A = this chain, B = another copy of it.
Amino acid sequence: MLDAAAELTYRDGVSIGIEALCRSAGVSKRSMYQLFAGKDDLLAASLERRIPSYVERLAPDPGETVTPRERILGVFERLEEGAALPEFRGCPFLAALVELKDPEHPASAVAGGAKQRLKEVFRAEAERGGARDPDLLSRQLMLVFDGANARAGAGIETLDGLTTTTATVLLDAAGVE
């Protein structure tokens, strides 16, 4: 159910109907309203469920020999890999935030938390790498990350190497080894 909801809302947007979600999940509306308080709840839960695998895919737990620079650039390499796939529509959390527009929406809080987790990874690696201003660097990297997601997801940009190149510039300027 959660997986089907995640996939359909990612492909068609949050305005997809509940009926379609249930049909695709093979679950009756009755059952779904026993599991979730409403559409908002379902949406928030389906986003919540995606967070661990999302973060893990982009920034897997580092092995011993991975430098901060490698881990950060790895995020952008994996972003570019994903963006090359035809079904890529950008970061699902960013898309939900933009589509909902309402910061009060339960799903907005979840999506914001997902973005915060990735930013924390950036910040921690920035610190470990000796960046002059780790928080600034992490915010800059998030700008690039989300800009790339929005633009590539909308189909108005092709990333091949663009984000890794840009991130490298920022890492250099921040003094990360």
Chain A residues near B (Cβ < 8 Å): 11-13, 15, 89-90, 94-95, 97-99, 101, 103, 108, 112, 115-116, 136, 139-140, 142-151, 153-157, 162-163, 165-166, 169-170, 172-173
Contact = CB atoms under 8 A, between A and B. Distances in A.
Contact of A147 (B97, B99, B145): B145
A90 B166 CA distance: 22
What's the number of copies of this chain in the assembled complex? 2
**Secondary structure at chain A's binding surface: helix, strand, loop or mixed?**
helix
A143 B151 contact: yes
Given A98-B154, A99-B13, A169-B169, A143 B139 contact: no
Given A143-B148, A166-B143, A154 B13 contact: no
B173 A169 contact: yes
Contact of A153 (B11, B98, B144, B173): B98
A166 B170 contact: yes
Given A98-B99, A169-B173, A139 B157 contact: yes
Given A140-B166, A147-B143, A166-B143, A155 B103 contact: yes
A47 to B, nearest CB: 14
